[in-house]
Amino acid sequence: MDAVQTRILYLNQSDIVQLGGESSPLYMEAVNEALSAHARRRFHQPLKPYLRWYGENGHIADRIIAMPAYLGEESPIAGLKWVGSKHDNPQKRNLERASALIILNDPESHYPIAVMEGSLISGMRTAAVTAIAADYLAVSGFRSVSCIGCGPIAYMQLRTLLEQYDHIQCVHLFDFRVEAAQNLIRRLQASFPAVRFLVEDSAHAAVSKGEVVITCTVADKPYIPFSWLKKGAFISNVSIMDFEKEVFLKADKVVVDDWDQSNREKKIINQLVLEGTFSFEQLHAELGEIIIGKKTGRETDQEIILLNAMGMAIEDVACAYAIYRKAVEQNTGVYLDLI
């Protein structure tokens, strides 16, 4: 057996940060490539299974998800993200809500070639989806961003947007825990001193002021009505369950990353489909179709556009592979023997 196939490269989060994994450029490129491959159908990605054992009383954010994928573009790669989430980790265990590992496999032998910490990659690739979508779906030159929920996901979303769009002038924040919003401001202000960060006293106040609106919560029930939204708003529905059904039905365009992934697990789109009020035919596009020019993005400054991105394994695998290649080039990480 080839010696390369009998060992794996292990990368912890510090290694990934050292390789540039805490800022957006690497993710923007890799996610853009993954979304383009998705639109061209050059991938394999089974529907991700959700492992739950709390029954009807379990929180929607309490699960472990297996996310396998194969990307077959110029540099083919296969892999899996294994991501755990427990909504009360921060309060009860002083841990981040989500944790993850990503495994990469050689597409020829199918042997594993790398294992790496995945929560940073997962959060940053999700932020890259928002930032890429904003280029096509937000009003040109947007100046205001609203973010509901001020934890680690919000930090990555806002850092990525602020790195990519230097015309952002004001960020409106709301969190039930005011200290979370204040901590988020402290983390961002040093890197973006020209931006005004405002803590709003309600979700309504924050949402109504945003040209770009991002939800980063663990909400299990919708609470944001259509009436809160500004004309011309672009919504990145990161945490999936925050917007009421009417937002999906009244928005000028609804965009998803992958229809099959979005229409499942009793999320809002799936509820609407089961009720007969929404369908694939009413969907405007999958995001990759807009990126490659197959479908239109924003057409007027008045459109309200909703992006409902469930998150795809091809994004994780593409980003992890980009980091793996840099690690090999820079001799970063630790090799572990399989045998």
* Cα 47 off chain centre by: 17
Beta bridge partner(s), residue 117: 101
Helix ranges (DSSP H) in the chain: 13-18, 25-39, 119-137, 152-164, 178-189, 203-207, 245-250, 259-262, 268-275, 287-291, 313-330
Eight-class DSSP state of 94: S
b/e sequence 89-111, b meaning 16+ C-beta within 10 Å: bbeeeeebbbbbebbbbbeeeee
Q: Which among 81, 86, 209, 295 is annotated as catalytic?
A: 81
Q: What is the C-alpha separation between 320 and 316, in angstroms, rounded? A: 6
262: helix, coil or strand?
helix
178: helix, coil or strand?
helix
Whether 81 is catalytic is yes
Eight-class DSSP state of 93: I
Sign of CA dihedral 7, 10, 16, 19: negative
Query: Which active-site residues does the annotation give?
Result: 81
